[in-house]
Chains A and B, each alone.
Chain A
Amino acid sequence: MASAKPHARESGVPFTPTGTGSPNRPRRGLALPEWTTAFLLLTPVILLFSISVIYPVIETVRISFWEIRGLGRPSFVGLGNYARLFSDPVFLGTLWTTLIFTLGVTIVSVSIGWFIALLCAFAPRQTSIFRLMIFATFGISEAVAGYIWIGIFRPGDAGLLNGILTAIGLGEFAQPWLGGANSALIALIVTASWSAVGLPLLLSFASVQAIPRSILEAAYMDGAKPLTMMWHIMVPLSLPGARVAVFLTLLSSLRAFDIVFVLTAGGPARATETVGFFMYRESMTQFNLGYGAAATIILLIGVLLVSTPAIAQRTRGAK
């Protein structure tokens, strides 16, 4: 980009030496060196970012080495909180729940979103209204999604899911969905996938639309039918968009909190607690701040592991 030298502001050379017309007057305004300008424009950003990201990260790491219960005196425990976490069956359970939930939501929402995006590419205009119907969930918060789906998973005849099962003669499968450990996790995954499908749909659709028309025309001339064309041409060529969708969905479901809080509150009997929820429960309702902070750090490590390639790529691209 533009040269690195600071802007010198000599006013030596007259702008219009011939004197015809009116000479341009000297510049108004401040003449600032580049880094001063940068500093001015950047100060609010650095300030807010430091308060809400840098300080909390460092502080959470620090607290995780301390035992802090409510308003009692903090005592330094080193890695004690971490040792406790890994012998706590509830926490080990949340690790498992988080894994299943994250993979479940990612697989379900990305495959549906991608598949619909591929189909829509064959008839972008005719399907635009349906696409919008699916995409609309992007504007609905996870919390609201939770309430919406509570009505569907209700026990007895009042729940839509049970109602449908009874209506099609599968009444024996009707159950209080949010009452069983496994069914509640499934309910959580279904709800979160319903709510998360918008982004994969958007990203994959953009990626499919970016495939050069001539390639698809060539495949059409070669006699490819829609499904063949989808599998051999469109899937590989829309992979970049789908890959981004997988990553972003993994990232957001790993840290899930709102939807768990609303739909199951971690229940029944802490069976659907994710790490993101466990940390809230320990630190904000039980006031075990140190223990909660340690769980948060475990979550952070998981997130960093998943994001390593993305971080590497962004760091390389940071010019």
Chain B
Amino acid sequence: MVGRAPIWIIFVVGIVGCLWIIPIIGIVATSLQTTDSIARGWWHFGENEFSLQAWYTVWQTYPLAGSLWVSIKITLAATALTMVTAPAAAYVFHYLRFPMRRLWLIIIINAFVLPQQVVIIPLFQLWREVGLLDNMAAVVIPFVGLSYAWAVFLIKSFLEDFPKELIEAARIDGCGPIRTFTQVVLPNLISPIAACGILQFLWCWNTLLLPMLFLRSDISLTVLLARIAGTYDPNLDQQAVAAIVTALIPLAIFLLFQKQFAAGNRVSSGGKE
């Protein structure tokens, strides 16, 4: 930036930043305190007693490990499928010519406005009929199908700035359309594909509605969290534990990859929305 940064600016941003993580500190503190202490208010650090009881109880009472595994399976499957198929679709739409190309493209990239609520009634009926309720696929299929709306758009906007000479050079070097994709385009799409993967991972892991409706016995972490809270005991400490476990992995992924995420997002947001 120009000139020297005024101190007050750093100060203001710092205050807002701290305000923003107080709730997170609160939930961690809550998970580590006794029920009596929580009733007094978790911030009375001086008087409150710490305990790992809630963590132990949740681990004993609820299928935390099982749900963690379900979440991992569902999220990885949906993320991998999107990361493999969306770039191919973006490439096909951007470089190849075929009947009804523009119609499909318009439908797919505009579907990003659709609320998830639109899919639940028909899919609920469909899964019930074909016996997919309580099956991982019942969640993974709409996760992937809905992701195309933004994933294809994001990668295709990246391709708009992709030098067309590289495609021409590949043609002169003797590549057909598939080889041009796998050998020339794909290796250069790593950053938007990574951005798509991170977004898809976060969304699949974090969303509640679809898994809550379509899964029964093997439930994901968000659904488990909703069940623990639903018991309506004064079990704030246990809710806190479940919330932390649910948030841990996406938060770690997010913090780890935030650079790639920002890079990919810049591409998609470069005034093109």
Contacts and interface: CB of A to CB of B under 8 A. Distances in A.
Interface of A: 1-2, 4, 7, 27, 29-32, 34-35, 37-42, 44-46, 48-57, 59-60, 63, 112, 116, 119-124, 126-127, 129-144, 147-152, 154, 157-160, 163, 194, 197, 202-203, 206-207, 210, 213, 216-217, 219-220, 226, 240-241, 244, 247-248, 251, 254-255, 257-258, 261-262, 276, 279-280, 283-284, 289, 292-293, 296, 299-300, 303-304, 306-307, 310-311, 313-315, 317-318
Given A35-B99, A134-B17, A137-B20, A41 B88 contact: yes
Given A136-B251, A300-B114, A293 B208 contact: no
22 contacts: A31-B176, A34-B98, A37-B178, A48-B148, A52-B144, A122-B9, A126-B10, A133-B20, A135-B258, A136-B254, A141-B205, A141-B207, A141-B247, A157-B40, A158-B38, A194-B20, A220-B3, A244-B273, A247-B273, A248-B273, A280-B117, A296-B121
B215 interface: no
Contact of B255 (A139, A292, A314): A139
A313 B109 CA distance: 11
B176 A42 contact: no
B145 A53 contact: yes
Given A42-B92, A53-B119, A314-B109, 16 more contacts: A1-B164, A2-B171, A48-B145, A49-B108, A52-B142, A60-B122, A63-B122, A119-B9, A133-B18, A134-B20, A149-B23, A150-B239, A158-B40, A261-B209, A283-B120, A311-B113
B117 A255 contact: yes
Given A140-B247, A261-B208, A296-B118, A202 B262 contact: yes
Contacts of A203: 265, 269
A144 B243 contact: yes
A37 B251 contact: no
B13 to A, nearest CB: 5
Interface string B244-271: 0011001101110010001001100111
B2 to A, nearest CB: 4
A258 B207 CA distance: 7
Contacts of A150: 229, 236, 239
B2 A303 contact: no
Contacts of A276: 115, 117
Nearest to B142: A52
B17 A131 contact: yes
Contacts of B266: 206
B123 interface: yes
Contacts of A32: 176-178
